[in-house]
Amino acid sequence: MRPPTRRGRLTAVLAVTAALITLTGSMSAQPSAAAAPQAAALPYQDASLPVDDRVDDLLSRMTLDDKIGQMTQADKDAIVPASDIATYRLGSVLSGGDGTVSPNNAQTWADTYDGLQRQALGTPLAIPMIYGIDAVHGANAVRGATIFPHNIGLGATRDPALVQRIGRAVAEEVSGTGVDWTFAPCLCVARNDRWGRTYESFGETPELVTSMATVVDGFQGPGGPGSVPASVLATAKHYIGDGGTTNGTDQGNTQLGEAELRAVHLPPFKAAVDRGVGSVMLSYSSWNGVKLHGHKYLVTDLLKGELGFDGFVVSDWAAVDQLDGQTGFTAEEVSKAVNAGVDMVMVPHDYKKFISLLRGEVNNGRVPMSRIDDANRRILTQKFGLGLFEKPLTDRAYTSTVGSAEHRALARQAVRQSQVLLKNEGGVLPLAKSAKLFVAGKSADDIGNMSGGWTMSWQGRSGDITPGTTVLEGIRESVNDPSRVTFERYGNGIDGSYTAAVAVVGETPYAEGRGDRPGAMGLDQEDLQTLAKLKASGVPVVVVLVSGRPLDIAAQLPDWRALLAAWLPGTEGGGVADVLFGDHRPTGKLPMTWMRSASQQPINQGDGKDALFPYGHGLTYGTGTDPTPTPTPTPTPTPAPGPGSCTATAKVTSTWSGGFQADVTVRNTGTTPLTGWSTSWDLGSRTVTNVWNGALTTAGGRATVRNLAWNGGVAAGGTVTFGYTANGSADGLPVPSCTGTTGT
């Protein structure tokens, strides 16, 4: 029996009226738009029946082509003519990062969606298609939408409830454009800042990323897909280990033992599964040389079996093509991916070839019909759960939420809470609203730079790409007299008459591998030249860093009086100004360890490296303001090794016949940080089958689990958790003993 998940309580949206399709044998049947609501003709169309019954009935009516079509996802712009949706029974359409409509606005997106959906509804069984898009920090393909901070900034807020509210706001805007499914959240644990997708991660620790799985409830609703109006299907991605590749190479190779793979990269996916996430997208990357898209153990045995994921697995964009290392895709790659556990293939272009190849693989027995039926069951369960059969077209009531004042206010709050104050020498911040300010830097007045990749296009771009408030505009709106704010991008014209100079610098937009930084990780020449001009004026320099990751800035830091990490804030730059002028005290905490040098990468909490700013660092005003110049942080001498005190508490998290899963929380009950811990307990008749977040040894009838390299450090009063599965009874678990160590 699989561990219960929230999906077990999947709520089918009960329809008040059913848009009924007159069933004909012809594939070209058009929905009888004028059909008056009438009793459901067939069981699968009856929203009062349990979802499983509806799925059973529908599956019994589907041909092999119907079923293969449901497993096929094609890019909107590749479907020519649009009637191919009906002809080939396509179950899903997507817009990739560069997908757009013209004119680009919410109404056009909704009209486009409805037109494509009506094609799907015109098929004999009238199975609605599900439309997916990368709404990763807002309905970010739609001009005029609210663009929220990218995940790295949301991780800095340490506010899961806020992130859930953001998920809900994004779901409303996405629903207003017709789209039913977002390829978000990325639950990647970014372990090497060289990775071009670092900004898509909530942070470098499994705990922080796991805590932000609340966004799944925001997207879908607390009761799972379809449990609230404007529910959109969420996607936990990219399973598994995308953020742990060697050298941070995008789509690279994650070289880890299974215990550490489970420890670092699995917990966020477990959290998403337990919240009823409807889909999981696989990673392009490999685990110890084996591509995830062909990894049956990780996809079927671990994700679907052990974790009990009962949604559907979708491939990444043309990722199946990569399995044999050659361009294009083959029958062997198609069957390998589908047999590994891929339920829906993001083809995304040659859908006719894909359908033909998969049909061939089924007919020759290399893909069993049971796999096809399982994939369809998973996909259809989500479509029924979302209420697509009852409400297949855009809910226009939500179209007006796109870019709404309410959502922009929420985004501004998120921007405020995501700012991390790293340095504040002499309390130069907060700035006085009466100050005479010089603002410079390429990102001071640039919504495109503030938003980063996945904004209006795949890679994003600099410039005025969508309506919003730049940092400069936010500053001018905040001060008493805007005429006392001078802006010159390059710093030309600054003199000693200014109270302070604010330099908004950092990275220009990028996405995925194009953002990999295998070499230097410092500021570009324009920024360095701008900063040199500001420094030469003798005016105190406040740096606002707009970037998708920590940058290598240790050499320049002494010249800066203050440093504020703004990450990629999106359209509401007023939130940055709120912190600069003290309308909001900075509360953000680093989601990533900040390197002292790029040569330190990867650098993460607990690895013993000498960081410029540690994970969790963040100053505030008042108590946190530095009365004196900030000395460059030097490593505090590690105290001599000694005993530490800790407790270990075991809690059963799920059970099945003959076995169970437990989480063990280790708490530092002493007054000095632990640098290591070890727990131990009598096994009795039980046998431990798996451990994550810890290293297991068994001897003399006792199990001992010790910390891993990355989670030995536990602050006084802090906790760390590891988990295990075991055969045997979950009743009467012994209380593990705990031994802590401090110092090296």
Which residues lie near ligand GLC (CB under 6 A)? 96-97, 134, 183, 237, 316-317
Nearest-approach distance from CB 184 to ligand GLC, in angstroms: 8
Nearer to ligand GLC, 183 or 581 (CB): 183
Nearer to ligand GLC, 134 or 445 (CB): 134
Q: Which helix (H) or strand (E) holds 544?
A: strand 541-546
Nearer to ligand GLC, 134 or 578 (CB): 134
Cα–Cα distance measured from residue 110 to residue 128, given in angstroms and rounded to the nearest whole number: 15
Give the Cβ contact number of residue 77 at 10 Å: 15
Residues 6+ apart with CB under 8 A from 287: 240, 241, 253, 254, 256, 261, 295, 298
83-118 residues labelled b (16+ CB within 10 A) or e (exposed): ebbbbbbbbbbbbbbebbbeeebbebbbebbeebbb
Give the Cβ contact number of residue 1 at 10 Å: 9
Nearest-approach distance from CB 97 to ligand GLC, in angstroms: 5
**Measuring CA to CA, which residue among 307, 327, 544 is closest to residue 419?**
544
Cα–Cα distance measured from residue 294 to residue 440, given in angstroms and rounded to the nearest whole number: 49
With vertex at residue 324, the alpha carbon angle to CA 319 and CA 327, rounded to the nearest 5 degrees, is 65
**Measuring CA to CA, which residue among 313, 315, 358 is closest to residue 65?**
358
Tokens for 145? 């939408």
Handedness of CA 447, 449, 450, 454 (dihedral sign): positive
Nearer to ligand GLC, 204 or 316 (CB): 316
**Measuring CA to CA, which residue among 307, 246, 313, 308 is closest to residue 279?**
313
Classify 64 as helix, strand or coil.
helix
Nearest-approach distance from CB 131 to ligand GLC, in angstroms: 12
Nearest-approach distance from CB 170 to ligand GLC, in angstroms: 15
Nearest-approach distance from CB 306 to ligand GLC, in angstroms: 24
Nearest-approach distance from CB 273 to ligand GLC, in angstroms: 19
Nearer to ligand GLC, 44 or 183 (CB): 183
Residues in the chain, overall count: 744
Nearer to ligand GLC, 236 or 302 (CB): 236
Cis omega (within 30 of 0) on the bond before 736? no
Q: How far is CA 22 from CA 14, 33, 55, 65, 554, in A?
A: 21, 10, 20, 21, 69
Q: In the annotation, is 111 catalytic? A: no
Nearest-approach distance from CB 122 to ligand GLC, in angstroms: 26
Cα–Cα distance measured from residue 553 to residue 597, given in angstroms and rounded to the nearest whole number: 8
Cα–Cα distance measured from residue 341 to residue 364, given in angstroms and rounded to the nearest whole number: 19
Of the residues 134, 193, 242, 316, which is catalytic?
Answer: 316
β-pair partners for 739: 678
Nearer to ligand GLC, 237 or 371 (CB): 237
Nearest-approach distance from CB 233 to ligand GLC, in angstroms: 13
Cα–Cα distance measured from residue 456 to residue 461, given in angstroms and rounded to the nearest whole number: 8
Q: How far is CA 472 from CA 185, 413, 541, 665, in A?
A: 30, 17, 15, 46
Nearer to ligand GLC, 181 or 498 (CB): 181
Nearest-approach distance from CB 316 to ligand GLC, in angstroms: 5
C-alpha 242: how far from chain center: 12
Instruction: Give first-to-last CA distance, the chain, whole Å.
Output: 44
Nearer to ligand GLC, 319 or 580 (CB): 319
User: What residues act catalytically?
Assistant: 316
